[in-house]
């Protein structure tokens, strides 16, 4: 029982969750979670399954400390087992925001999930669209970009454009609303309107948060486009990125030196993916 309790403590610590947060997710009292981790008694089997899912571990490991066989894991992989699983990212962001006191980020998570409900990303796997804003927020946190307004804007950046929500209706402060408004393309800003697109990027580049979110957004899209775009569409998207996004890196470097390390890493990631795709697509990129 002590070893089982120790594994529960370890699993919870690995995902940076508080006992109160776990209790909320499992609809039990914090005292119950504390008692489990002290080895006073074990949760019932339904709660054990929920705990394993919440912590991202197998039920076998939680109960017996047995690591899953790699071949078995590979054979049973499915959409819910993806590395960037929506529930896992949602839980991580919520626990991180709670621990850091990022109240706005924490409060809008359920709103963002509700807004993108039933939407899917382009591609054969039909990944829930909410995967995209959650990925952006996780990427930002990993890079140390954990400002409340920035994470909130990353989570909300597609809500107005894709869910037909007015900026003023967003449940956030005015600074975040402004950044989201700059990230939102209106009807006049289309790829066929070069002047409108240039004005969109110009205005966006004047806002620190909008600019950093746009760089994260494009990095994510570039990284995932191979599973959703044709070769011709990828080539077009890469050219548009080089023409309109690369100049944003120069502006960011000049105007926001506090983000120098993050800007370098985002650009390195994006450029590496683009160059790899160039090699794979060969003449179609020339």
pLDDT value of residue 168: 97
pLDDT value of residue 189: 58
Which of 61, 77, 93 is where one domain is finished? Answer: 77
Residues 16 and 144 in one domain: no
Mapping DSSP to helix (H, G, I), strand (E, B) and coil, where does residue 120 land? strand
Say which DSSP state 167 is in. Answer: G
Q: How far apart are CA 234 and CA 225, in angstroms?
A: 7
Residues 139 and 203 in one domain: yes
Residues 73 and 170 in one domain: no
Q: Is 200 exposed, middle or buried (0-12, 13-18, 19+ CB in 10 A)?
A: buried
Residues 132 and 233 in one domain: yes
Q: How far apart are CA 213 and CA 183, in angstroms?
A: 8
Positions in the chain whose pLDDT score sits under 50: 69-80, 191, 283, 285-286
Which of 28, 61, 77 is where one domain is finished? Answer: 77
Residues 59 and 172 in one domain: no
Closest CA to 88 of 131, 45, 133, 47: 131
pLDDT value of residue 70: 47
Which of 48, 77, 106 is where one domain is finished? Answer: 77
Q: In the numeric block, which tokens belong to residue 225?
A: 């486009």
pLDDT, tens digit, 9 for 90 and up, residues 82-136: 557 898 899 889 989 998 999 999 999 999 999 999 999 877 668 899 999 999 9
Q: How far apart are CA 91 and CA 89, in angstroms?
A: 5
Q: How far apart are CA 108 and CA 152, in angstroms?
A: 7
Residue 57: CATH number of its domain: 1.10.260.40
pLDDT value of residue 59: 76
Residues 123 and 228 in one domain: yes
C-beta separation of 184 from 161 below 8 A: yes
pLDDT value of residue 44: 79
- Enumerate long-range contacts of 225-228, CB under 8 Å, 24 or more apart: 226/277, 227/123, 227/124, 227/125, 228/121, 228/122, 228/123
Neighbours of 62 (CB within 10 A): 20
Residues 205 and 224 in one domain: yes
Q: Where are the alpha helices (DSSP H) in 116-164?
A: 131-142, 148-156, 159-163
pLDDT value of residue 124: 60
Residues 66 and 86 in one domain: no
pLDDT value of residue 58: 83
pLDDT value of residue 1: 61
Cβ neighbors of 136 (< 8 A, separation 6 or more) are: 154, 155, 157, 213, 216, 217, 220
Range of the domain at 52: 2-77
Neighbours of 209 (CB within 10 A): 23
Residues 148 and 227 in one domain: yes
Residues 51 and 108 in one domain: no
Per the structure, how many domains does the chain have?
2
Residues 55 and 86 in one domain: no
Residue 143: CATH number of its domain: 1.10.3210.10
Residues 57 and 188 in one domain: no
């Amino acid at each position: 029982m002590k070893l089982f309790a120790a594994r529960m403590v370890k699993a919870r610590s690995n995902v940076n969750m508080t006992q109160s947060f776990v209790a909320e997710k499992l609809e039990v009292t914090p005292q119950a979670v504390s008692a489990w981790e002290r080895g006073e008694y074990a949760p019932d089997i339904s709660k054990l399954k929920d705990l394993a899912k919440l912590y991202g571990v197998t039920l076998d490991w939680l109960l017996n400390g047995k690591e899953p066989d790699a071949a078995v894991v590979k054979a049973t992989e499915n959409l819910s087992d993806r590395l960037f699983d929506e529930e896992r990212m949602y839980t991580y962001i919520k626990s991180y925001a709670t621990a850091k006191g990022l109240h706005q980020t924490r409060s809008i998570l359920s709103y963002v999930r509700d807004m993108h409900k039933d939407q899917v990303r382009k591609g054969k796997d039909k990944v829930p669209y909410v995967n995209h804003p959650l990925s952006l927020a996780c990427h930002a946190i990993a890079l140390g970009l954990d400002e409340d307004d920035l994470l909130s804007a990353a989570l909300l950046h597609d809500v107005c454009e894709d869910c037909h929500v007015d900026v003023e209706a967003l449940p956030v402060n005015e600074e975040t609303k402004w950044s989201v408004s700059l990230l939102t393309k209106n009807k006049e800003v289309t790829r066929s309107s070069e002047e409108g697109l240039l004005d969109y990027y110009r205005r966006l580049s004047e806002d620190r948060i909008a600019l950093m979110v746009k760089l994260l957004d494009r990095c994510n899209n570039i990284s995932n486009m191979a599973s959703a775009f044709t070769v011709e569409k990828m080539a077009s998207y890469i050219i548009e990125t080089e023409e309109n996004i690369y100049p944003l890196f120069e502006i960011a470097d000049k105007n926001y030196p506090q983000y120098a390390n993050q800007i370098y890493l985002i650009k390195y990631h994006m450029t590496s993916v683009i160059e790899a795709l160039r090699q794979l697509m060969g003449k179609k990129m020339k």
